[in-house]
Amino acid sequence: MQYYSDHLQNAKVENGVCTLTARLETEDSITSASINTLGKVDLLYGRIEVRARIPSALGTWPAIWLLGINKNEIGWPACGEIDVME
Which residues are catalytic, by number? 81, 86
Instruction: Give the per-residue SS3 of 44-65.
Output: CCCCCCCCCCCCCCCCCCCCEE
CA 44 to chain centre: 20
For 83, phi then psi, to 5°, come to -85, 110
User: Contact at 8 Å (CB) between 19 and 12?
Assistant: yes
